[in-house]
Structure 1
Amino acid sequence: MDAATLTKLLSPEGWALLGALPPYDEQQALVLAAGLRAKGVDPDLAAAALTQSRLRAAARGKLGAFADGMLFTQAGLEQASRLVVAGLHARRYQEAGIRRVADLTSGIGVDALAFAAAELEVLATDVDELTAAIATVNLRHFPEAEVRHGDGLELDLEGERVEGVYADPARRTRGGRRVFDPSAWAPPLDAVWALRERVPAVGIKVGPGIPHQGLPDDAETEWVSVDGDVVEAGLWFGPLAPEGPGRSALVLSSRTGPDGTERTTTRRLAHRPGDEDVAPDVGAVGQYLYEPDGAVIRAGLVGHAARALGGRLLDRTIAYVTTDSPAPLDATGLADGLARGYRVLDTMPFGLKRLRAYLRARGVGRLTIKKRGTAVTPEQLRRQLALSGDASATIVLTRVGGSQQVLVVEPLEAPPGDDARQDGPR
């Protein structure tokens, strides 16, 4: 979409057309486009409206009902924060007493929207003129939010009375290729975190794959997951890290309450400089197996999770925790809000013939394969097993005591009820 097409889309005719489109259905998109052309709708406008309808549908997973009143670019949607996470970003600034935030890389404006909704003054910038225009549309209901087209690094932070800075550097090229070198991000990571010398309250969203080596000693680095998907890491400086620097994991799990509203459970683990090191025991497979959330693993806090669950590791280098007694499950089905749990039904050394015979004897035709610490490829193993039958099973391929093992498990499920907890499967 170019500026001329955006102007058409923002006209009364274009906005009415976008609002009148039915819920997006990919199978009906071509038919709908042909119908619009037959009615004499401008082809560029029709294409833009259908594109926005598709992007809005895709955005609902991140933004919920807010997506229905917003405009998007494909790249902007891909990089945008989930609304629940953007709200947590805003809370950091709010609780730090920040009143005016500069969002240096606003993109389509999701984080700026969360800042404004938290009653913060927002000065948002983006180097792409079209993206800045779209952010302006998305922030139209918040007069305390200003969007400018330009390089956020060139802002006069002191002159603009900025008390806190936020940035989400672009980590892909315009062609969509991922950029792994932080010095090649836009803007470069070093240039952003250097701003803490001018404004102590700096927050930077980075990819969850960022290595621990080279992280600044004065930052809290927090990995965040939403319903099992690790979505980002954040670097928080100064008053935005009130508990001090270190590594933390924030696990967000959603569930639908009895009244039909979605509720989010949060669980945080952290390790700060000066905290005692956690060296969990390593031992044999117990009656239960727990797979820590990905944010916990990325933050290097598996040992902390093992301690919280009262368990031990199968192997010091593998992120599986085992226990002899079950840990309580919360309403989202996570043990202590940190890990997905399984009851261990059987264990055996890994061997194709042995495993095939075991599963066929039990009529297993549908097999879920989980793995850590093994080179076995699940797709290839499934073909080699050539299973048929009506039963289903879950196996875990991993190392135990240095040897390859197969664990036959069944998932632990949370019981029905709003805040029910249980000590294992019902």
Structure 2
Amino acid sequence: MRLTPDIIGLIKDYREDSPETVALMSKRYPDLPMAFVAQQVKARQRIRKKLPRWYANESIVFPHSLSLEQCSSEYAAEYKAGLLEGATIADLTGGFGVDAIAFSERFKRVFHIERNRELSEMVAQNVLVLGKESQVETFADDGLDWLDKYSGRLDVVYLDPARRDNRSLKVSALEDCEPNLKQYWKILLKKSGKVAVKLSPGLDVDRIIASLPHIFEIHILSIENECKECFCIAREEHAGEPEIVCVNRLNDSNWDTFMFKRSEEKASQGSYSMYSKFLYEPNASIMKGGGFKTLGDRLGLELLHPRTRFYSSEQMIEGFPGKVFEILDSGELQKKGATAMFPEGQANVLARNAGLSSPDLKRKLGLRDGGDLFAIGTTDVGGRRRLLKCRKVERS
């Protein structure tokens, strides 16, 4: 359905209202499709932070919730596009088209293939709104069928495999994604110079490397310390191990980046010690990708324990890719100690290799959420459970 001026006006007027309330306004607006207006209001409320520039464009039409849930965030799409370039790219699992529009900034021709005809037509409409019709071509087709019919060789083939089964349940195994990348991987490599794939952050990085040969880079992407996706780039002629790139978007101008290879991590012995004045927790991308010993080696930091993903130092290390805490006090991981450390009964509780979850630790210690202080339960180099009273150090 197209957005008429009247529909756009209603969406704008009721953008902060409950979609359910908007849907019941059909008697007030008998000549307007209020169910559609309500769906657009709901969609816009959901994507306001995920797709801020798309949200700001009043002429964009949005699909139902599942397509919005599965689409890339604006920042992730732009980051991925920045890693690729060429004349032609085919997005074989087009979806809502966020990635395809981002690719249009780097490629002369972008082929958006989406087998859901209604969604494909919606994307075509938005392509016109965004003024990208000379670069982005839309096809209502199965991506692999389209690729089989395409006679040329593409610079890049891009896929975002569906991560749900036929009951709409999320899946986390590579073999359960659709299309099955393991089955079609060789074909994809033959048809293009590079194959780029967006994968769930729930997938194991080492299994991805073992299952999909010729990957030369794996980017583990987080937005504001929430891990969003694994982005893999492969080319047929690459035979070595991939670089693992852990990136975290902090804000518009700041990104943390840490790169390493598995061979480097395996060769490192790591360094371990008791905690001292400052405590460091890696960001979500590093937590997913690993490289803990390598990170410590490069920054001169020592880990608390082989299974405790905390580092410590006496002097503050600037530019650490993650959170930094100042340790104010420490003691045994017991309620008695927590009562003495936090007499107001309030703290932000974190459990890392403490033998229980953060909510369970909060209950054990009898603490309420809130305040500026952190109660961190962990295991030290001697294998003892410890409680650390900390204050977060804000980055400049």
TM norm structure 2 = 0.87
Please identify, of 216-225 and 75-84, the stretch whose mean Cα deviation from structure 2 is larger: 216-225
Using the alignment, how far apart are the partners of 1:398 and 1:390 within structure 2? 20
Q: 1:181 aligns with which of 159, 173, 186?
A: 173
- SS in structure 2 at match of 1:61: coil
CA distances 1:379-401 after superposition (whole Å, capped 9, x unpaired)? 34434444589965311111112
Partner of residue 109 from structure 2, selected from 108, 121, 128 = 121
Which AA in structure 1 matches 2:44? R
CA contact under 8 A between 2:120 and 2:140: conserved in structure 1?
A: yes
Cα shift at 1:77:
1.0
Moved more, 191-200 or 294-303: 191-200
Selected match of 2:259 from 265, 269, 294: 269
**Compared with structure 1, are the counterparts of its residues 14 and 272 closer, same or farther at alpha carbon in structure 2 (3 Å cutoff)?**
farther
- In structure 2, do the counterparts of structure 1 residues 48 and 327 end up closer, same or farther at CA, with 3 Å as the change threshold? same
Correspondences of 1:22-421 after superposition (within 5 Å) = 22-26=14-18, 29-42=19-32, 45-69=33-57, 70=60, 71-94=62-85, 98-140=86-128, 141-143=131-133, 144-154=135-145, 155-156=147-148, 159-173=151-165, 175-194=167-186, 195-214=188-207, 215=209, 216-219=212-215, 220-238=217-235, 245-254=242-251, 262-271=252-261, 277-328=267-318, 335-336=319-320, 338-360=321-343, 364-387=344-367, 393-400=373-380, 401-415=382-396
Q: What secondary structure, in the 3-state scheme, does the structure 2 residue paired with 1:308 have? A: helix
SS of 1:269's partner is strand
Report deviation, 1:304. Answer: 2.4
The letter for the 2-side match of 1:83 is E
Would you say the 8 A contact 2:262–2:291 is kept in 1? no
CA distance in 1, matches of 2:178, 2:275: 47
- Please report how far the alpha carbon of residue 15 of structure 1 lies from its aligned counterpart in structure 2 after TM superposition: 4.5
Instruction: Give the conservation status (yes or no) of the 8 Å contact 2:349–2:369.
Output: no
Mapped partners of 1:52, 1:241: distance in 2 = 45
Deviation at 1:35, TM superposition (A): 3.9
Deviation of 1:162 after TM superposition, in Å, equals 2.1
Offset at residue 180 of structure 1 (A): 2.3
C-alpha deviation, 1:102, in angstroms = 0.4
1:17 offset after TM fit, Å?
Answer: 4.6
Q: Is the 8 A contact 2:43 2:63 kept in 1?
A: yes
Please tell me the residue identity of whatever aligns with 1:21: D
**Do the aligned partners of residues 31 and 251 (structure 1) sit closer, same or farther apart at CA in structure 2, a change above 3 Å counting?**
closer
Check the 8 A contact 2:377/2:385 in 1, yes or no.
Answer: yes
Alpha-carbon shift at residue 184 of structure 1 (Å): 2.3
Q: Counterparts of 1:292 and 1:240 in 2: how far apart (Å)? A: 33
1:100 touches 1:164 (CA, 8 Å); kept in 2?
yes
2: CA distance between counterparts of 1:63 and 1:200? 30
Aligned to 2:110, what secondary structure does the other structure show? strand
* 1:200 to partner: Cα distance: 3.2
Query: How far 1:175 sits from its partner (Å)?
Result: 4.4
Task: Quote the sequence identity (%).
Answer: 21
> Counterparts of 1:300 and 1:19 in 2: how far apart (Å)?
45
Report deviation, 1:109.
0.4
Residues 13 and 235 of structure 1: CA distance in aligned 2, closer, same or farther (over 3 Å):
same
* Structure 1 unmatched ranges of 5 or more: 1-6, 255-261, 329-334, 416-426
Alpha-carbon separation, structure 2, partners of 1:85 and 1:227: 11
Cα contact 1:245–1:273 (8 A) shared by 2: no
After superposition, the Cα gap between the structure-2 partners of 1:278 and 1:120, relative to the gap in structure 1 and judged at 3 Å, is: farther
Task: Please tell me the residue identity of whatever aligns with 1:177.
Answer: L
